[in-house]
Amino acid sequence: MKKQLVYILFLSLISLSPFAQQKPADLDKSPMDVSYCPPNYPILKMNGKATEQPIARLLYSRPQKNGREIFGGIVIQGELWRLGANEATEIEFFRNVKVAGKMLLKGRYTMYAITNGDSWTVIFNTDRDIWGLAHNPKKDVLKIEAKVQNTESVTEAFTMYFEPVKANNYQFVIAWDKSKASFPFSY
């Protein structure tokens, strides 16, 4: 009986070993970040100042400039870019919205861009959970133009956020290096 109990205990320990805690991955060079509309939504909710869902939530990776040439360098003008690094950028709208005056239905989308100097084409696509640049153009649902301006200061880490303009109106801002692209967003 003792031998059977020891044998069962031994088999139990061996069968549980695959579930042992694994060593965490190293810190990613392009960490993932989140941006909300309205800005700081989780803090507003925590403080009881937001009672509804946010308008949008953006998940994206933030590569660093690290002395590299960005636009015309690692981001090739006229070619598709995943707006960040690693996984494709995803945005979720919790209600129907207007992006650059065009209706976009509530849902979750990946975002891409084609950079061209002073104007970028920003693309919303229904494919999700994609790593890299696995873009399926048949799933594009909206393409808009974003105005680009050169900035005096360098934005070291790729950054995207919603900038309030007036009630229910925002500018969606994409900044990196000495470029800042933006387009209107409203609900």
Domains in the chain: boundaries: 35-45+53-186
Which pLDDT belongs to residue 124?
98
Q: How far apart are CA 116 and CA 41, in angstroms?
A: 33
Q: Over the range 37-71, which residues count as b (16 or more CB within 10 Å of their CB) and which as e?
A: beeebeeeeeeeebeeebbbbbbbbbbebeeeebb
Q: pLDDT (tens digit, 0 to 9) for every residue of the chain, 187 residues total?
A: 666 655 555 555 555 555 555 676 676 777 889 999 999 888 888 898 887 889 999 999 999 999 999 999 999 999 999 999 999 999 999 999 999 999 999 999 999 999 998 899 999 999 998 888 889 999 999 999 999 999 999 999 999 999 999 999 999 999 999 999 999 999 9
What pTM value is reported for the model? 0.83
Contact 58, 108 (CB under 8 A): no
How many Å from the N-terminal Cα to the C-terminal Cα in the chain?
A: 71
Phi, psi of 149 (to 5 degrees): -130, 145
Which pLDDT belongs to residue 62?
96
Which pLDDT belongs to residue 1?
60
For 1, 12, 54, 176, the CA distances from 9, given in Å and listed in that order, are 12, 5, 50, 57
SS3 39: coil
Which pLDDT belongs to residue 26?
72
